[in-house]
Structure 1
Amino acid sequence: MDNQIEPTGKLNARMFGKLAVIAVMMFGFGYLLVPLYKQICELTGVNILTSQEMKVKPIDNSQIDKSRTITVEFDANAQGPFRFRPTVNSMQVHPGEMTQVLYEVVNTQKRSIEAQAIPSYAPQEAAAHFKKVECFCFQQQTLEASQAKQMPVVFYLDPALPKDVKTITLSYTFFEIAKPEKTVELKSAVAG
C-alpha cells in the first residue's frame, strides 16, 4: 500500500505548527497596524495626526468687539436674614466676551431658608443686551442653617449694545420666599 495513513501524532504536530505560525503572523499584523495606518494616512493626506498639525493656533472669537470696553458694576441687596454681596465691585468687559462673576450669600439663621434673586439693570436699555448663560437667579436657592454659598453668573454683552452705553450696573435683590400660610396651618393640623 503506497497510500499509508500518517500517524495521528504527526498530523497533530503539523497542525499545531501551522496554527502557531498563523497566531504569530496575526500578532505581528496587529502590532504593526497602528504605525502602518499612520504611514498610509500621511501618504494619502487623510486624517493627519502629526505633531506639527496639532499645534494649530486657537481661532479668535470673531463675535467679540475688542474696540469697545464696557464697565460692568455689580450690586447686591438682601431682603431677609442674609449677607449677600458680589466678590468684585466691577469688571471691564468687551461686548461678545463670555464673563463670569461670583456672588456670595450667607444664611445668618439657624434654620433652612428658601430664597430667590431678582436682577435689575441700569441703564434700563442695557437689560435687552445683557445675556445671562448661567445664573443663580434662574431658580430658587435652598440655604441650610448658617450655610455660605458662592453662586456664579456667566454672561456676555450683546455687541448690538448702543455705543453710548459705557457703564452697566447689574443689581440683585435676594429675598426669602415665605411659605404659604395654608401649608403651615395644614402641617400643624396633621401633626396635632
Structure 2
Amino acid sequence: MMRDRKALQLALLAVVMFGFGFLLVPLYDVFCDITGLNGKTATQAVAESHEVDTQRQVTVEFITYQSTGVQGEFTASVQHLKVRPGEMHQVDFTVTNPSSKDKILRAIPSVAPGRAASYLRKTECFCFQEQPLAAQSEAIMPMRFYVDRMLPPDIEIFTLSYTLYDISERASSS
C-alpha cells in the first residue's frame, strides 16, 4: 500500500515537472514582456505618428549572427547608424543561400542594453515572419525603424542584433 502511494506521488511529480518545463518558454516570454529584460523587441509593426528630436543623436549598432548549420552570408548594409529620435530609417540586410536546397529562415532580434528594446519602433522588419530563400540565391531584407523620443537620456548607444536560424525542416513538417 505504501509502495503504491509512493509510486503515485513520483508519477505525479514527473507529470508536474514535465508540465513546468513545457510552460517555461511562454512564461519566460511573458516575464520578458513585463520587465523588458533580455532585449526582446516587439514582434508586430508599430504605426504611430512621431516627431523628430533635433537636439539629440543616438547611435544604433547592427550585428548579425548565423546559427550553427546556416550556410551563406548574413550581413547588414551598415555597421552603425547615427539617428535622431523620431526620425525614420531603413537598414537593408542581405542573406545568401549557396546550397542547392530552398531554405526557410527566421531572424530573432535582440537589443542591448535590454531596456532600450521598448524604445525601438520597427514599422517593417524581415523578423516579423519567416523568410523563404531559394537555392543559390540572395535576398535583401529591409528593416524600417525609428527610436522613440522617450528613450532615456543616458542611453546614447545601443545594439540591435539578429540571429538567423534555418527552420526549413520544422516549417515543412507543420
- Under a length normalisation based on structure 2, what TM-score does the superposition of the two structures give? 0.67
**Structure 1 residue 183 displacement after superposition:** 3.9
Does the 8 Å CA contact 2:103/2:168 hold for their aligned counterparts? no
Of 81, 88, 93, the residue aligned with 1:98 is: 88
Letter of the aligned partner of 2:133 in structure 1?
Answer: L
* CA deviation after TM superposition for structure 1 residue 180, in Å: 4.1
Within 5 Å, give how 1:26-41 maps onto structure 2. none
Structure possessing the higher radius of gyration over alpha carbons: 1
Which stretches in structure 1 are left out of the alignment for 5+ residues?
1-60, 185-192
The CA distance in 1 between the partners of 2:102 and 2:94, in whole Å, is 17
Consecutive aligned runs of 4 or more in structure 1 exceeding 4 Å deviation? none
Distance in 2, matches of 1:97 and 1:81, equals 34
Q: Distance in 1 between matches of 2:97 and 2:90?
A: 23
Distance 2:72 2:141 in 1: 14
- Give SS of 1:165's match: coil
CA shift, 1:168, in A, is 1.1
Provide the residue aligned with 2:78 in structure 1: 88
Percent same amino acid at aligned positions? 40
Name the residue aligned to 1:188: none
**For 2:167 and 2:72, how far apart are their aligned partners in 1?**
12
The residue that corresponds to 1:136 in the other structure is: 126
Q: 1:179 to 1:62 in 2, by over 3 A?
A: closer
- Two-structure CA RMSD over aligned residues (Å): 2.0
Alpha-carbon distance in structure 2 between the residues aligned to 1:113 and 1:77: 17
Aligned letter for 2:116? A
- The Cα shift of 1:179 comes to 1.8
What secondary structure is seen at the aligned counterpart in 1 of 2:73? strand
Q: How many residues align?
A: 124
Q: Deviations over 1:114-134 (max 9, x none)?
A: 110000001101000000000
